[in-house]
Copies of this chain bind each other. A is one copy, B any other.
C-alpha cells in the first residue's frame, strides 16, 4: 500500500489563493478529534455569533483540533450559501490559527459544490468535506466525477453516509479518489470493518459514528473521529481519541445513544439548549425532544460529571416546551 500512499503527500493542485495559515495535507490527516460543530441561532433565526464563539473557544480549550463548519450537524443544508460561506470565513478569521477549519461545501449539485468549495477556499478554509449526490443520486461514474471535481478545488475529505444519502460510495470509487493529490481521507459511517479495510490500503479514515469512534481509532486504525457528541463532552472525546480507554468509552455510551434517538442534530440541539450553550431556537424541520427525554438527557450528562465534562454548561435545565422557538422562514 505504500505506493498508493505516496501520492497522498503530493502538493495541492489548488489554484486559489494560498492562505496565510494553510495546513499541510499531512497535518490534517493526523487530526484525531474534529467536531461537526453546532450552529446556534438568535430568536429570529440568524446566527448567534456570540454563542458560536463561546462554543468554539470551549472546544479548543478541551482538545478539539478541527471543526466541520455547516455540516449536517451544523445544519449547512438549512443555510443559504452566503450564510454558510460567511460562517466559514468568520471561523477562519477568529479561530483559524488555533484549529483546522473544514467547510462542508459539498452538495448534491455539482455546480453548487464547486461554487461553495471555491468560495470556501477563497475565504481561507483549510479543507472541504465533499458528499456524494444525495437524494438526486447518480451512477458510480457520475459520483466519481462529482467528487473529483470537488477535490480539484483543494484538500478534501470525502463523506460516506448512505443512511442519509441513500447511496453508498463503493470501495472502488474511494480507491480511485484516493489517488487524487487533494484527497485527505474518508469520513466513514458504515462501520469499523470497512474502516479497517480502508486503513490497510493506506486510506485515512475518520469514524462518523460516535458510538464506534473509540474502537475505530484504537482497533480499526482510524485517524480519529468527526464527532457530534464532542460538542457536548469535548474533553471526554479528546481522551477517547488520545488513548485506549474501554471503561470511559462504555461510560459515554448512554449519552451517545440518547443523542441519536432521533435524526441528528435533534438530540444535540436539545442538549446544547438545555446546557445554556445556545438559545433554545431551532430552524425547522428540527424540533426538540419531548420533556421526558429531555429530563433523561440532563441525568445522563450529570452522571458523566456535569460541568467538568461539559464546559459550555451555563445552567443545565430540562426546559419547558414553550421555551423553544421554531423558525420556519427567514422573514
1/0 per position for A267-294, CB-CB distance to B under 8 A? Answer: 0000000000000000111110000000
Interface segment out of the listed A2-10, A84-92, A242-250, A297-305: A84-92
1/0 per position for A131-149, CB-CB distance to B under 8 A? Answer: 0011111110111011001
A251 to chain B minimum Cβ distance, whole angstroms, is 27
Q: Does A230 contact B (CB under 8 A)?
A: no
**A93 engages B142 (CB within 8 Å):** no
**B77 engages A136 (CB within 8 Å):** yes
Report the Cα distance A286→B138, complex, angstroms: 6
**A285 engages B145 (CB within 8 Å):** yes
Contacting residue for A86 out of B122, B146, B165, CB 8 A = B122
**A266 engages B124 (CB within 8 Å):** no
Q: Does A44 contact B (CB under 8 A)?
A: yes
**B262 engages A77 (CB within 8 Å):** no
**B89 engages A93 (CB within 8 Å):** yes
Q: Given the complex, which residues of B lie within 8 Å of A78, measured CB to CB? A: 109-111, 136
Interface segment out of the listed A13-21, A178-186, A200-208, A232-240: A13-21
Contacting residue for A111 out of B92, B122, B165, B329, CB 8 A = B329
**A110 engages B145 (CB within 8 Å):** no
**B123 engages A86 (CB within 8 Å):** yes
Q: Given the complex, which residues of B lie within 8 Å of A109, measured CB to CB? A: 77-78, 283, 285
1/0 per position for A40-51, CB-CB distance to B under 8 A? Answer: 000011110110
**B17 engages A49 (CB within 8 Å):** yes
With A123-B123, A136-B164 given, name 10 new contacts (CB 8 A).
Answer: A72-B136, A75-B136, A82-B85, A86-B122, A93-B96, A109-B283, A114-B329, A139-B287, A142-B287, A149-B328
Chain A to chain B: the 8 pairs with minimum beta-carbon distance, closest first: A89-B89, A110-B284, A137-B263, A146-B285, A17-B49, A89-B123, A93-B124, A139-B262
